[in-house]
Amino acid sequence: MENIIKIENLNFYYGNFLALKNINMDIYKNKITAFIGPSGCGKSTLLRTLNRMNDFIENIKVEGNIYFKGQNIYSKEVDPVELRRRIGMVFQKPNPFPKTIYENIVYGLRKNGVNKKEILDEVVERTLKAVALYDEVKDKIYKSALELSGGQQQRLCIARAIAMQPEVVLMDEPTSALDPISTLKIEELLLELKKDYTIIIVTHSMQQAARISDWTAFFLNGELIEYDTTENIFENPRDKRTEDYITGRFG
């Protein structure tokens, strides 16, 4: 199996607080990897180190290495903006811009100097189809994205992320603000998208991790306790703490 991200001996500090302790793991290409664990265990912090979103926080320190396709993402040669184009992100709450559906999707392309109408039109249609939103919104793509339902807004945010043609998509609890039907639609969508993208998802829902991920990492107090195929994590965990968490004894 081909890894696309390799994390080696990663420590992450907020000030003097050690939030991630000696994390070592490989993220595999075209798979869905779920990060699970109780609140405050470090899973969202780790997710944000993978495209350097934590750079925006003051007084942080990163030790160790994260390699994306063989290149250390914290090396001087790496442009964080280009890195975030290649490793996109979808947040917990849908956050469409107060613009039209069309302008939401092409926002990043315009920022990168792409303004040719034929190209933008093609990207809008392709990404809306990819997120199974095209039929629902094709007659209102020039209307405000804020008129969409929560589930539609989140699919639009996924479309906006993949419009930049990233290789990896990071998702920080992308369905926690959604109803069960919208959640199911997003989950079905992720299973489709992994043919073209590598997906890493932070989720509070163990059922979600079990349903859609190929690999699952369990974190506790900033440590990676266990990382294995999702089947092994849920059916045959090696560590008692993993078993206690997934059976609901704590968390």
125 is a domain residue: no
Q: Are the beta carbons of 229 and 215 closer than 8 angstroms?
A: yes
Is residue 140 exposed (0-12), middle (13-18) or buried (19+ Cβ within 10 Å)? middle
119 is a domain residue: no
Whether residue 52 has pLDDT greater than 70: yes
Token representation of residue 157: 């945010």
68 is a domain residue: yes
Residues 6+ apart with CB under 8 A from 122: none
142 is a domain residue: no
Whether residue 53 has pLDDT greater than 90: yes
56 is a domain residue: yes
Query: Which run of H or E residues covers position 247?
Result: none
Tell me the CATH number at 78: 3.40.50.300
Q: What is the pLDDT of residues 130-149, one digit of tens each?
A: 999 999 999 999 999 999 99
- Total domains in the chain come to 1
Please tell me the predicted confidence (pLDDT) of residue 251: 67
Please tell me the predicted confidence (pLDDT) of residue 243: 96
Domain hosting 65: range is 3-95+168-247
Q: What is the pLDDT of residues 164-202, one digit of tens each?
A: 999 999 999 999 989 999 999 999 999 999 999 999 999
Q: What is the pLDDT of residues 59-115, one digit of tens each?
A: 999 999 999 999 999 999 999 999 999 999 999 999 999 999 999 999 999 988 999
Sign of the dihedral defined by the CA atoms of residues 11, 12, 16, 19, in that order: negative
Rg (CA), the chain: 18
Q: What is the pLDDT of residues 151-172, one digit of tens each?
A: 999 999 999 999 999 999 999 9
Please tell me the predicted confidence (pLDDT) of residue 11: 98
Q: Look up residue 168 and give its DSSP letter.
A: E
Q: How much is the mean pLDDT over the chain? A: 96
Please tell me the predicted confidence (pLDDT) of residue 194: 96
Strand 198-202, strand 60-68: pairing = unpaired
126 is a domain residue: no
Whether residue 224 has pLDDT greater than 70: yes
118 is a domain residue: no
- Name the pLDDT band for 21 (thresholds 50, 70, 90): very high
SS3 135: helix
Tally of helices (H runs) and strands (E runs) in the chain = 10, 10
- Name the pLDDT band for 249 (thresholds 50, 70, 90): confident
Please tell me the predicted confidence (pLDDT) of residue 250: 76
90 is a domain residue: yes
